[in-house]
Amino acid sequence: MSIWERKALNFINQTGRWDKDKHISSFLAFSIALVKSLMEADIALQLEFEDEETAKVKCASPLHLNGLVLNPAPIKKLLYTEDFKTIYWREIPPAKENVFKEILPALSSAIIIPVDTSPNNSLLVLGWSEPASFEPGFLECIETIRLRLKEILVQSQQQIYFQRVAIRFAAILHTIPHALVFINNDGVSGWVNQEGANLLGLSGPGEQLPAILSDAMTQLRNKALNITTIEKAAVPLFSSPENSISNWSWQMENKLLLVSCLPVTTQQICGRLWIFENGDQ
């Protein structure tokens, strides 16, 4: 195994141990420092396009480059010209042609790696004071690092997106005035909103084991005054996972519950959603 193959493997291994629950910005800072060390670069930084007029330096080493603001227009023009591929400057262009002259002073070689960090795009910039060899193994190592960065960032972005969606819909479901209980057919996952937790006497809303939810609903059903009628209606309901029921009357001692049980089937989940409404209102 060549030295460059070992460096690429080192990068993959170390980024594999990175905590993906952390924000993308912390991963980029970690990765930039790691790439700088592995590639023995003199300068390493992130350049983020914040808006149409601002490209700001972040996660820079040396630190004094942090906060520098560049004009993004000529930089984007360069990226489009190079089809957003990694740009290898074996010799840094003269100042008039160097769109990074503010951050690559007195350097001989540089690499510009476009990175998608939606909603804002970024560049990773590496620079060397002595001419870099850019031999084939070195280039392959850089491209492996770029692919690994893309992979981790896509995963992180997806995780952040789904976390935001989950938080948003959980907030909506917790404010619905009906008690909601979802039991997944996988036998290991279930969910209840605040009204559902109150109705079933659970400690709180959120994720719950299906066994706990089923036991709590059984206890609730057993308190009904019309339990015989409820059990008769349950037979056809549970004869098939596709069956549903609406406005199922559960007469409790102090109130009437209108119960609906609906199948939920998607590519990701399969289960039943229970809705308990107050029929006395």
* Domains in the chain: ranges and CATH: 3-165 (3.30.450.40), 176-278 (3.30.450.20)
CA–CA separation, 126 and 52 (whole Å)? 23
Q: Using the predicted structure, report yes or no on whether residue 118 has a pLDDT greater than 80.
A: no
pLDDT category of residue 21 using cuts at 50, 70 and 90: low
Q: What is the mean pLDDT of residues 166-179?
A: 84
Q: Using the predicted structure, report yes or no on whether residue 50 has a pLDDT greater than 60.
A: yes
CA–CA separation, 89 and 148 (whole Å)? 22
Q: Residue 259 region, left (φ>0) first, then alpha (ψ -120 to 50), else beta?
A: beta
Q: What is the mean pLDDT of residues 151-176?
A: 80
CA–CA separation, 259 and 248 (whole Å)? 5
Q: What is the mean pLDDT of residues 122-139?
A: 90
| Residues 6+ away with beta carbon under 8 Å from 145 | 8, 11, 35, 113
The DSSP symbol for 103 reads T
Of 172, 189, 205, residue with least CA distance to 272: 189
